[in-house]
Amino acid sequence: MTATLGAFTEELKRMLGTKAIDIDAPSCTAYTVQQMLTNAQYALVVRDGFASFFFHPYWLEPGLGVPAMSDFESLVSGITQLGYTWVDATTAQ
């Protein structure tokens, strides 16, 4: 099977979900931190599986007035507590 890097990246983002805060685009599905952690827990049943998510750095801008940093920290902490190992996607084999 052949896949482009773009298609692979999109699939990685769909594994757990995209964390979005008050997003305007109707085509985007926003998940809560708890929903993403639940998805990560479900993914643990797959042998040799992996999990991923996309968190746009735009949401970390202080002027937006949203709890993005605490959500990001909770997500990373929760996924780590589930036993996942963090790797650089460009070097994963």
Round to whole Å and give the CA distance between 58 and 41: 27
Contacts of 35 (CB under 8 A, 6+ apart): 17
Rounded to a whole number, what is the distance in angstroms from the first to the last CA of the chain? Answer: 16
Q: Does 88 reside within a domain? A: no
Q: Does 91 reside within a domain? A: no
Tokens of 18: 């995209």
Which residue in the block uniquely carries the two structure tokens 């084999």?
93
pTM of the complete model: 0.63
- Domain count within the chain: 1
What confidence tens digit (pLDDT) does each residue in 12-50 have?
A: 555 556 555 454 555 566 788 898 899 889 888 888 777
Q: Does 61 reside within a domain? A: yes
Range with the poorest average pLDDT among 36-45, 51-60, 72-81: 51-60
> Domain range for residue 65?
5-81
